[in-house]
Chain A
Amino acid sequence: MREQGVDITPGTLFDAEEMVINMGPQHPSTHGVLRVILKLDGETVKDLDCDIGYLHRGVEKIAEHDTYAMITPYWDRLDYVAAVSNDLCYVGGVEKLLGIEVPRRAEYLRVALTELQRIASHLLWLGTHAIDIGAVTVLLYAFREREEILKIFEDFIGARLTAHAFRIGGLWWDAYPEFEKRVRDFLKILPGRIDEYETLLNANRIWLSRTVGIGVLPADEAINLSLTGPVLRGSGVKYDLRRAQPYSVYPEFDFEIPIGENGDTYDRYLVRMAEIRQSIIIIEQALDGLPEGPVMAKVPKVIKPPVGEVYFGIEAPKGEIGVYLVSDGTTKPYRMRIRPPAFINLQSLRRLSIGHLVADVVALIGTIDIVLGEVDR
Chain B
Amino acid sequence: MLGTLTTLMLVAPEWVLRWTKEPRGNAFWAEFVVWPLIQILIVLFIVLTLVAYLVYLERKVSAFMQARLGPMRVGPWGLLQPAADGLKLLLKEDIIPLKADKTVFQIAPIISVVAALVVLAVIPWGAAWATIANVNIGLLFILAVSSVGVLGLVLAGWASNSKYSLLGALRSSAQMISYEIGMGLSIIGALMFARTLSMSGIIEAQQADGVWYVFFQPIGFIIYLVCALGETNRAPFDLPEAESELVAGYHTEYSGFRWALFFMAEYTSMLVTSAIAVTLFLGGWSFPGLGLIKNQTLFVVVSIVIFAAKVMVLIYLYMWFRWTWPRYRYDQLMDLGWKWMIPAGLANIVLTGIWYVLALPKSRGGVFGLMQLGLRDRLAPTRWSGIIYFVVTGFVITIPIIWLVLAAINRRTRDFNLHAQRQLQIKLRAKRLQKHAEPQAAGEGAS
Contacts and interface: CB of A to CB of B under 8 A. Distances in A.
A141 B363 CA distance: 63
Contacts of B327: 133-134, 206
B433 interface: yes
Interface in B324-371: 324-332
B326 A140 contact: no
Contact of B325 (A43, A206, A262, A362): A206
A261 B414 contact: no
Interface in B406-447: 414-415, 418, 421-422, 425-426, 429, 432-433, 436, 445-447
Interface string A96-132: 0000000000000000000000000000000000111
B325 A13 contact: no
Interface residues of B, number: 42
Nearest to B447: A238
A204 B326 contact: yes
A280 B433 CA distance: 32
A29 B244 contact: yes
Contacts of B418: 205, 208-209, 212
From A29, A144, A206, residue with most partner B Cβ within 10 Å: A206
Contact of A237 (B238, B436, B445): B445
A336 B428 CA distance: 43
B421 A209 contact: no
B66 interface: yes
Interface string A190-217: 0000000000110011111110110010
Contacts of A201: 326
Nearest to A24: B246
Contact of A212 (B68, B246, B422, B429): B422
A238 B444 CA distance: 11
From B65, B166, B326, residue with most partner A Cβ within 10 Å: B326
Contacts of A43: 330-331
Contact of A131 (B244, B245, B329): B244
A265 B270 CA distance: 34
Contact of A213 (B239, B244, B326, B414): B414
Contact of B246 (A21, A213, A238): A21
A95 interface: no
A135 B331 contact: no
Given A23-B246, A223-B446, A130 B67 contact: no
B329 A261 contact: no
A338 B91 CA distance: 51
A28 B246 CA distance: 10
Contacts of A305: none
Contacts of A238: 447
B163 interface: yes
Given A137-B66, A237-B446, A28 B429 contact: no
Contact of A134 (B66, B325, B414, B445): B325
From B167, B425, B433, B436, residue with most partner A Cβ within 10 Å: B425
B323 interface: yes
Contact of A209 (B166, B239, B243, B415): B415
Given A8-B163, A261-B429, A362-B244, A137 B65 contact: yes
A23 B245 CA distance: 9
Contacts of B425: 213, 216, 261-262, 264
Nearest to B327: A134
A218 interface: yes
Given A137-B323, A223-B446, A360-B329, A213 B421 contact: yes
B402 interface: no
A261 B67 contact: no
B331 to A, nearest CB: 7
A364 to B, nearest CB: 13
A207 B245 CA distance: 17
B152 interface: no
Interface in B231-251: 235-236, 238-239, 242-247
Interface in B300-330: 323-330
Given A21-B246, A141-B67, A212 B235 contact: no
Interface in A167-205: 200-201, 204-205
A81 to B, nearest CB: 18
A359 B330 contact: yes
Nearest to A140: B66
From B236, B436, B446, residue with most partner A Cβ within 10 Å: B446
A220 interface: yes
Contacts of A205: 418
B246 A209 contact: no
Counting from the closest, the 4 A-B pairs by CB-CB distance are A134-B327, A140-B66, A134-B326, A29-B244
Given A134-B236, A137-B324, A359-B239, 18 more contacts: A13-B163, A23-B246, A134-B242, A134-B325, A135-B324, A137-B65, A206-B236, A206-B326, A207-B326, A212-B418, A220-B436, A220-B445, A223-B446, A237-B447, A261-B426, A359-B245, A361-B246, A362-B244
27 contacts: A134-B235, A134-B239, A134-B326, A134-B327, A135-B324, A135-B325, A135-B326, A136-B66, A137-B323, A144-B67, A206-B326, A206-B327, A209-B415, A209-B418, A218-B429, A219-B429, A236-B446, A237-B445, A261-B422, A262-B422, A263-B429, A266-B422, A357-B331, A358-B245, A358-B246, A359-B239, A360-B329
